[in-house]
């Protein structure tokens, strides 16, 4: 049995949670990471663009992909080291992110609870350094294992070299080069819980864990908040936040806050601050706006949804007009959060 399955002119509609129609010149479903060197040894792959796809929860196909889409099927989670206070845990790339979160909490490890219910695969988590409710995954990653197309070898990349930032990393900056095959996390058994994000303490009160919450309570509270606030990609096709919260310097954030006192500003005590893109989009009148099957979610202004038969090009066109109107009203540029395939953002 070969380590991969190849399909020419392959449909991608079921390969992204936005469920838009598109095709790949070649699709390679790879069962095991150790088949990657052989696959990438083919001359055809050397001359073609390559796209590594996990669960497709952060990629918009705005057109066909004239290259090779690669998926990895290897799953598994295991403890590599455990000294009683922290453990080193390895998860293979195709493991579902939320399964890893639950696995870690069930075994008494703390840290990933604020990242509950985020869609996608473990191998995708480092790429945009997934973050929610005051935690980013990069804080817990010790090593990323990735196939390097430049050298044709499997490499172990330490956290410093990963260069994690807000929705950013080494891998996001060179997506053609790195194919993440596994991630190793350092997780403690005890750690102060992060409860300061707006709404988390209130939700803990509601579930009766207000005084002495445990990590599993925080996971439960965050799952409830997410379920209420964000459309479920299993029911309404979407990619989570479609835009990043723009980072501006603190002086601009202060003057914007003076002009728009209700605009949420995050991290105002640092040289830069994040502005709430959702608030600006909502205040331009886009929340719930629908054009055919392409729409802005009624639940959250940062999420674009496909109600059935929207194309990636229609979603992208809507996104561009949203960004234009935010720039016209607030003078701030919005950048898309998902990777856009088959078109340029600007």
Is 290 considered catalytic here? no
Is 167 considered catalytic here? yes
Binding track, positions 83-122, relative to ligand EPU; x by CB under 6 A: ----------------------------------------
Find the shortest distance in angstroms from Cβ 282 to ligand EPU: 4
Binder to ligand EPU among 138, 213, 240, 312 (CB under 6 A)?
Answer: 240
Near ligand EPU by CB under 6 A, which window of 21-29, 251-259, 298-306, 324-332?
298-306
Binder to ligand EPU among 33, 74, 337, 341 (CB under 6 A)?
Answer: 337
| Alpha-carbon distances, residue 9 vs 27, 28, 43, 68 (angstroms) | 8, 11, 18, 10
Near ligand EPU by CB under 6 A, which window of 40-48, 138-146, 200-208, 297-305?
297-305
| Choice among 15, 90, 167, 226 that is catalytic | 167
Other beta carbons within 10 Å of 173: 12
Q: What angle do CA 165, 170, 173 make, to 5 degrees?
A: 95
Binding track, positions 30-69, relative to ligand EPU; x by CB under 6 A: ----------------------------------------
CA–CA separation, 283 and 296 (whole Å): 13
Find out whether 145 and 155 touch, Cβ atoms under 8 Å: yes
| Choice among 16, 116, 169, 241 that is catalytic | 241
298 binds ligand EPU (CB under 6 A): no
Of 159, 145, 126, 141, the residue nearest 33 (C-alpha): 145
CA–CA separation, 269 and 254 (whole Å): 10
Residues in contact with ligand EPU, total (CB under 6 A)?
A: 19
Question: For residue 52, what is the DSSP state?
Answer: E
Helices 97-106 and 215-229 pack at an angle, to 10 degrees, of 150
Active site residues: 167, 241, 337
């Amino acid at each position: 049995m070969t380590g991969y399955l190849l399909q020419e002119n392959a449909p991608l509609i079921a390969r992204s949670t936005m469920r838009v129609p598109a095709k790949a010149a070649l699709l390679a479903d790879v069962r095991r990471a150790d088949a990657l060197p052989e696959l990438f040894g083919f001359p055809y792959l050397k001359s073609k663009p390559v796209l590594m796809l996990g669960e497709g929860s952060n990629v918009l196909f705005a057109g066909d992909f004239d290259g090779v889409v690669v998926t990895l099927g290897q799953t598994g989670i295991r403890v590599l080291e455990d000294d009683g206070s922290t453990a080193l845990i390895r998860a293979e790339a195709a493991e579902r992110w939320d399964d890893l979160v639950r696995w870690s909490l069930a075994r008494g490890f703390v840290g990933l609870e604020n990242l509950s219910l985020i869609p996608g695969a473990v191998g995708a988590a480092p790429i945009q350094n997934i973050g929610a409710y005051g935690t980013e995954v990069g804080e817990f990653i010790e090593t990323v294992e990735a196939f390097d197309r430049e050298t044709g070898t499997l490499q172990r990349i330490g956290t410093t070299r990963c260069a994690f930032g807000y929705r950013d990393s080494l891998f996001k900056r060179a997506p053609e080069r790195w194919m993440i095959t596994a991630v190793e996390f350092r997780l403690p058994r005890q750690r102060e819980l992060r409860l300061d994000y707006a709404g988390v303490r209130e939700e803990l009160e509601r579930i009766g864990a207000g005084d002495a919450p445990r990590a599993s309570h925080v996971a439960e509270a965050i799952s409830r908040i997410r379920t209420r606030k964000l459309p479920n990609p299993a029911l309404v096709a979407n990619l989570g936040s479609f835009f990043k919260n723009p980072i501006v310097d603190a002086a601009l954030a202060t003057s914007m806050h003076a002009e728009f006192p209700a605009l949420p500003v995050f991290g105002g005590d640092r040289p830069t601050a994040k502005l709430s893109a959702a608030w600006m989009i909502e205040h331009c009148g886009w929340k719930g706006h629908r054009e055919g099957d392409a729409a802005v979610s009624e639940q959250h202004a940062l999420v674009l949804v496909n109600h059935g038969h929207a194309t990636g090009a229609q979603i992208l066109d809507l996104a561009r007009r949203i960004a234009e109107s935010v720039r016209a009203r607030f003078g701030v540029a919005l950048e898309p959060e998902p990777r856009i395939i088959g078109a340029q953002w600007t």
